[in-house]
Amino acid sequence: MTDPPPKMAGNWAAMTQAGSALTGPVLLGLLLDWQFATLPWITLAGVLLGLFGSIAILAMITSKPSASKPDAAKPRPTDPPES
């Protein structure tokens, strides 16, 4: 089995980070609700915290400039030189 290309491996790492940002607070909320007998309130707070955290992580990931996109400010080799 071959290793994935570095760009694809970076995407997998980012998606894993976003997924764990969602599940971590939910599981912690369930644990705390079970410990303090407050079900479902801390779990709901964990769901909201995880949701907003995942959205923030995905927004940061999608706003990063991609290395594969050409920079519009740089002249392309096929463009004629400016006079």
Tens digit of each residue's pLDDT (9 = 90 or more) over 33-67: 999 999 999 999 999 999 999 999 888 888 877 65
At residue 30 the predicted structure's pLDDT band, cuts being 50, 70 and 90, is very high
Mean pLDDT across the chain: 81
Please report, to the nearest 10 degrees, the dihedral formed by the alpha carbons of residues 49, 51, 57, 63 taken in order: -130
Dihedral (CA of 67, 70, 74, 78) sign: positive
At residue 14 the predicted structure's pLDDT band, cuts being 50, 70 and 90, is confident
